[in-house]
Amino acid sequence: MEKTCGHCCTKIENLSASFGKVSILEGINLHLNCHEILALIGPNGAGKTTLFRAVIGEVPHSGKINFLVKANPKEKPRIGYVPQKINFDLDSPISVLDLMAMTITDDPIWLRVKKNIREEAAGTLKKVASEKLVNKRIGELSGGELQRVLLAMAMTPVPDLLLLDEPISAVDVKGISLFYEIVNGLKKEYDISIIMATHNLTGVLPYADRVVLLNRVIIAEGTPQEVLSDKKILDAYRMGL
């Protein structure tokens, strides 16, 4: 178990979740510090998405999820979440600016987006190398562009904990490297905790501080170097993670 840095962390203790009589997660224990990327790997149906939804409060569960936030231990953490799949109407006239504005303000946007909101949206998009997309329609975006826009939305406001559920599943090879570089840069600049669920073990290893193999229970956990020498993880990966 990792020691806390003393400033911020997420601590999951003995978490279990089920749907009806079907057990999805059993006895999950994780400790994530700020300034850390944890790669969560596992087959389809392993419970990765269920774990994320438990953390954001969408799935009933037993066990404890505790957050220590930098400024005030009693303050609720800000959690950014990029889900595995979002269905957009590709023929919709909604632009990237419209989406960002809806994230930033509760003011109606169908008439016009105020200048200060536009500037804030452009600034946030710049963090994820996407400022040139601000006026594009959602239906015009490539898979990688859309994921970067969703990442920008999850970073508004800057979270304490960022959850990324299979964020590169629809991204080409060039876009994958860029996405990982951006996420790593956000970790360093904002000192946030990041959990990234992925099948792309090889690609994420250079950026991950720790790797967890999940299949309803935690099968293995360690640094990338430990993972590469752990036959249990590598065998599971070869079987189709």
pLDDT of residue 203: 82
Please give the chain's pLDDT, 241 residues, in tens: 344 444 558 899 999 999 888 999 999 999 998 889 999 988 888 999 999 999 999 999 999 998 876 556 667 788 999 998 787 787 888 999 999 999 998 877 666 888 999 999 999 999 999 999 999 999 999 989 999 999 999 999 999 899 999 998 888 888 899 999 999 999 999 989 999 998 877 788 899 999 998 999 998 899 988 877 777 666 665 554 4
> Is pTM, for the whole model, over 0.85?
yes
Give SS3 for 156: coil
Q: What is the reported pLDDT for 56?
A: 94
Q: What is the pLDDT of residue 207?
A: 93
Distance CA 197, CA 39 (A): 6
Q: What are phi and psi of 99, to 5 degrees?
A: -60, -45
Amino acid at 83: P
pLDDT of residue 2: 42
Predicted pLDDT of residue 8: 58
Q: Return the ∠ at Cα 164 (arms to 163 and 165), rounded to 5°.
A: 115
Tell me the residue ranges of DSSP E strands in 34-123: 36-41, 62-68, 79-82
Sequence-distant (6+) residues with CB within 8 A of 194 are: 36, 37, 38, 161, 162, 163, 164, 183, 186, 187
- Name which of 202, 198, 193, 229 is nearest 212 in CA terms: 198
pLDDT of amino acid 196:
96
| pLDDT value for 231 | 73
How many other C-beta atoms lie within 10 A of the C-beta of residue 147?
A: 27
Contact 171, 147 (CB under 8 A): yes
What confidence score (pLDDT) does residue 4 get?
41
- Which of 219, 178, 169, 217 shows the shortest CA–CA distance to 196? 169
Q: What are the residues whose beta carbons fall under 8 Å from the beta carbon of 238, sequence distance 6 or more?
A: none
Cβ neighbours around 74 below 10 Å, total: 6
- Cα separations in angstroms, 1 against 112, 200, 233: 50, 24, 18
Question: Are the CB atoms for 4 and 68 separated by under 8 Å?
Answer: yes
- Residue 1: what pLDDT? 38
Rounded Cα gap, residues 29 and 46, in angstroms? 15
CA angle (189, 193, 194) in 5-degree steps? 100
